[in-house]
């Protein structure tokens, strides 16, 4: 009853990610270029920006092989890595998520596929659904040359395959630094599943993850 009431109360809110995920990404190809699967368990990190970090974090927290997912800021300086400042859209930061993963269980390319398939709409410029501003841009922050190569190759591959009706605008940048967001932003979707924003914009992303990547969902 409670979820139904929430749906009625927020029925006029624009969905973020749910509508395009159904028809546009069901046939997303595997990356033609990917990192090799590690033979020994270890830890590597990847940083993705795709709109509000609550939803991106929620998606990757449900992926097998991911050790942790942390909401934060990337693209700007340390002194402006604060939500009150980033929200103005003038700091250079993007709301981002640092994903620490085990490369013996999941590859960087598989993380990219999930990012493009369910975590964000890569055709929206400086916005995601109801959120607009450069802080909500779609961007991949790479931590080494191999990630740069895989990410660039996959964007070209998706463009050639015409997976999306519009051009992919996701940027690729070398990660300058990652700054964790304030404590109250961490695990927000998990802690507040019936928050109206989460229920409308981010819960569908996790549901699409489960549907499209059942073998990687946890």
Task: Spell out the domains of the chain, with CATH numbers in brackets.
Answer: 2-212 (3.30.1060.10)
pLDDT band at 56 (very low <50, low <70, confident <90, very high): very high
For the question of residue 16 being annotated catalytic, the response is: no
Nearest to 16 by CA among 172, 194, 196: 196
Assign 1 a pLDDT band (cuts: 50, 70, 90): very low
Catalytic residue among 52, 112, 117, 216: 52
pTM: predicted TM-score of the whole model, two decimal places:
0.90
Residue 5: pLDDT above 80?
no
CB 92 within 8 A of CB 80: yes
Pairing between strand 138-142 and 171-174?
parallel
Cβ partners under 8 Å of residue 136, min gap 6 = 51, 52, 94, 95, 126, 127, 128
What SS3 class is residue 61? helix
Instruction: Return the pLDDT at 27.
Output: 75
Question: CA 37 from chain center: how many Å?
Answer: 22
**Structure confidence by residue, pLDDT tens digits, 170-199:** 999 999 999 999 999 999 999 999 999 999
Q: Would the pLDDT of 148 be above 70?
A: yes
Q: Which two tokens stand for residue 168?
A: 């992919």
Taking 80 as the threshold, does the pLDDT of residue 14 lie above it? no
Q: Is the dihedral of CA 198, 199, 200, 202 positive or negative?
A: positive
Crossing angle between the packed helical segments 203-212 and 53-61, to the nearest 10 degrees: 30
Does the pLDDT at position 24 exceed 50? Answer: no
Count other Cβ atoms within 10 Å, centred on residue 49: 29
Least confident of 7-21, 25-39, 67-81: 7-21
The whole-number pLDDT of residue 10 equals 42
């Amino acid at each position: 009853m409670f979820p139904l009431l929430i749906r009625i109360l927020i029925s006029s809110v624009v969905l973020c990610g749910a509508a395009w995920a159904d028809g546009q990404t069901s046939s997303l190809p595997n990356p033609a270029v990917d990192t090799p699967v590690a033979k020994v368990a270890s830890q590597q990190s990847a940083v993705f920006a795709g709109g509000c970090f609550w939803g991106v974090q929620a998606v990757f927290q449900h992926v097998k092989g991911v050790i942790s997912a942390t909401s934060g800021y990337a693209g700007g300086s340390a002194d402006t890595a604060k939500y009150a400042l980033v929200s103005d859209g003038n700091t250079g930061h993007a709301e981002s998520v640092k994903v620490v993963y085990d490369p013996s269980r999941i590859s960087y390319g598989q993380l990219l596929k999930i990012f493009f398939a369910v975590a964000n709409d890569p055709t929206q410029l400086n916005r995601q659904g109801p959120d607009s501003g450069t802080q909500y841009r779609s961007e991949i922050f790479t931590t080494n040359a191999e990630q740069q190569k895989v990410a660039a190759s996959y964007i070209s591959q998706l463009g050639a395959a015409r997976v999306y009706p519009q051009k992919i605008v996701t940027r690729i940048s070398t990660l300058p630094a990652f700054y964790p967001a304030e404590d109250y932003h961490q695990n927000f979707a998990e802690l507040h599943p019936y928050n109206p924003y989460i229920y409308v914009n981010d819960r569908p992303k996790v549901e699409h993850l489960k549907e499209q990547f059942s073998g990687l969902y946890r």
